[in-house]
A = this chain, B = another copy of it.
Amino acid sequence: MVRDADDTRRRLLEAAATEFAERGIAGARVDRIAAAAMANKALIYSYFGNKEDLFEAVFHALVVDTVEDVPIDADDLPGYAARLFDRIQQQPYALRLALWHSLERGSATMPAAVVAANEQKVAAVAAAQRAGRISDRFPPGELLALVTGLSLLGSPNLALTHTAGPDGLAVRRRTVVESVRILTAKDTT
């Protein structure tokens, strides 16, 4: 058996991501994570501190990466919404972790990186509005919240009216992108 602390850490994080995404903090089992990572449970405590710290590490790795990896293009918000929509489909764990986080930890403790990424996006939207390239009907933070919120509508993890039928997802995607287009388009009523 080769010994590689970095690889063990990585396996633990990966196993923890699956476990936490599926069951949340309270529902996750440390023993299950260790078993899935083919590592000893004590290593979790040695590398990450405790269960909650492990969750934070996983949350940071997945959610912060997602937020930072989908850059905004304030001149093409429908395209941004589409990319976010697709990312959520491809990596559903990030949204689930974010939901668990907000339910189990309260909404007060967002990582600084997420806050910073958001502020940068608000600034980008504000700049595009000032330049007259997109609608200034809404304040920039509100417009961003609309786009972000609409992009979540494809996720099966929100208790909303869920998409139906074989091409329900494609329909939903079109709905979201078109909505963003309408809401961000200049003029009209």
Q: Which residues of A contact B (CB under 8 A)?
A: 23-27, 95-96, 98-104, 107, 118, 137-139, 141-142, 144-146, 148-150, 152-153, 156-164, 171-172, 175, 178-179, 182-183, 185, 188-189
Contact = CB atoms under 8 A, between A and B. Distances in A.
A46 to B, nearest CB: 26
Given A142-B175, A171-B139, A118 B161 contact: yes
Contact of A182 (B152, B156, B189): B189
Contact of A153 (B103, B145, B183): B145
A164 B138 contact: no
A150 B149 CA distance: 7
9 contacts: A98-B159, A100-B103, A137-B178, A142-B172, A142-B175, A145-B161, A148-B161, A179-B183, A182-B183
Contacts of A144: 161
A24 B152 contact: no
A78 to B, nearest CB: 13
Contact of A171 (B101, B107, B142, B153): B142
Given A103-B157, A149-B160, 16 more contacts: A23-B26, A24-B27, A25-B27, A96-B103, A99-B159, A102-B156, A103-B103, A107-B156, A107-B162, A137-B182, A145-B175, A146-B153, A149-B158, A152-B160, A182-B183, A183-B183
Contacts of A26: 23-24, 26-27
A150 B146 contact: yes
Contacts of A188: 182, 188-189
